[in-house]
Structure formats: C-alpha cells, structure tokens
Chains A and B, each alone.
Chain A
Amino acid sequence: DGGITQSPKYLFRKEGQNVTLSCEQNLNHDAMYWYRQDPGQGLRLIYYSQIVNDFQKGDIAEGYSVSREKKESFPLTVTSAQKNPTAFYLCASSKRDRGNEQYFGPGTRLTVT
C-alpha cells in the first residue's frame, strides 16, 4: 500500500539536543511538506520541497532544517535554536496536478524537557 510514514510516533528529548524526524513516502509525489501543530491551533508550514535537492522556508522555519536528497524522503531536524519545540509535527506530500491535495503521515509528537 502506498502512503506516508513518519517515525517515531512519540519522541522525547532533553533541551539543547538536536532531533531529526523521519518522513518517507512511496506515492511518487514530487512535493513534500512539514507542518507544526500546537494544541487548539491549525497547521503552520515549516518547510516545503517541490523537487529533489530544492526546498523553501515556510512561515515558521527558524530553528528547523531539512534536506531532500531523495524523492521519497524529507527529514526534518529540530535544532536547539528552536525555542518552543514541543509540538505535533505532520509531514505531507502531493502531486503537481490539478488538485494538489496533500496526503499526510500519522505525525510525530515531540516533547522536549
């Protein structure tokens, strides 16, 4: 079955540590996205990538970094520079045709103490 996987589901880190969240898709989608969701809030775009080896900052990129070395993979690193990293992180991908509906992974809940 095609889909998007994110691992792990829950992640705990100490303050000051960098952490990398995994996102893999086998939908053959060109575009991939990372969102952050805080309690009671909508989604905020962190980074997105339209093609391999290219990515753009979203609305809240500070303290985050990404890479897109393969079409299938778009890992997100939460660095120690991110002031409030505890949140729910969602990865998505989409085709580049008419609808461009985004399909989402199950999410990673990151807790930093």
Chain B
Amino acid sequence: AQKITQTQPGMFVQEKEAVTLDCTYDTSDQSYGLFWYKQPSSGEMIFLIYQGSYDEQNATEGRYSLNFQKARKSANLVISASQLGDSAMYFCAMREDNAGNNRKLIWGLGTSLAVNP
C-alpha cells in the first residue's frame, strides 16, 4: 500500500490566488517527519517546508504553509498568492523514525501545478 498519496495529478491556479496541494500518509510510527519539495522543469528538487509529528504548530515558510491534521493523517501544502514561478511539480515525502530504518524518505508521485497569468 502506498504510504504517501497525492491524489491530484495536476492542478491549475490563477496568479495571486491561494492553492492547496493534498497529501495523505500512512504510518504506525508516533515519530515521523513530513516534507514538501518543489521540482521545476530544470529538474532540481527544492526543499520547501518541514513538519515534525510532535510539532504543535503548523509549519510556515514565507508563502508556504503546511496544514497538518494528524488525526486525519494529512499534510497539505498551501501556497498563498501564487506566482508564475510556482509552476512546477510538487512532491510530498515522509520520514519514519522507527529504529533501524536509517531515516529514509518515502515519496509521493507528485502534483503538477500550473499558475495561469
């Protein structure tokens, strides 16, 4: 079973509007971390935001915020005031902290975001 699910293969948003990219995860661990990355057409993966499972506040980094709903096992990325440069693939990833797994990341299949002028 997939551990990271991104249900939106593609999304469109109008410039300057906010957009939410969905991510649900599956783990039995109490301690884990959730990440969002951006991959523009150049190919490089750019780290955006991190949320730890014990963090009580939702993470924010500039225009990015993570809507963390632990009971629902969701970690949605919210991008406020979209810009044309936000057009890219977005990946959600999870790190499980159980002993012995060496803190690898488990990746979703991504959501393609297109920002319209």
Contacts and interface: CB of A to CB of B under 8 A. Distances in A.
A88 B43 contact: yes
A41 B105 CA distance: 15
Interface in A33-69: 40-45, 48, 50, 56, 58
Interface of B: 33, 35, 37, 42-47, 50, 52, 91, 95, 102-105, 107-110
A48 B102 contact: yes
A99 B52 contact: yes
Among B45, B47, B91, B109, the one with the most A-chain Cβ atoms within 10 Å of its Cβ is B45
Interface in A48-102: 48, 50, 56, 58, 88, 90, 92, 98-102
A104 B44 CA distance: 7
Contact of A100 (B33, B37, B42): B33
Interface size class of A (residues with CB under 8 A): 20 to 34
A42 B108 contact: yes
19 contacts: A31-B103, A41-B109, A42-B91, A43-B45, A43-B105, A45-B104, A48-B102, A48-B104, A58-B104, A99-B50, A99-B52, A100-B95, A101-B35, A102-B35, A102-B105, A104-B45, A106-B42, A106-B44, A107-B43
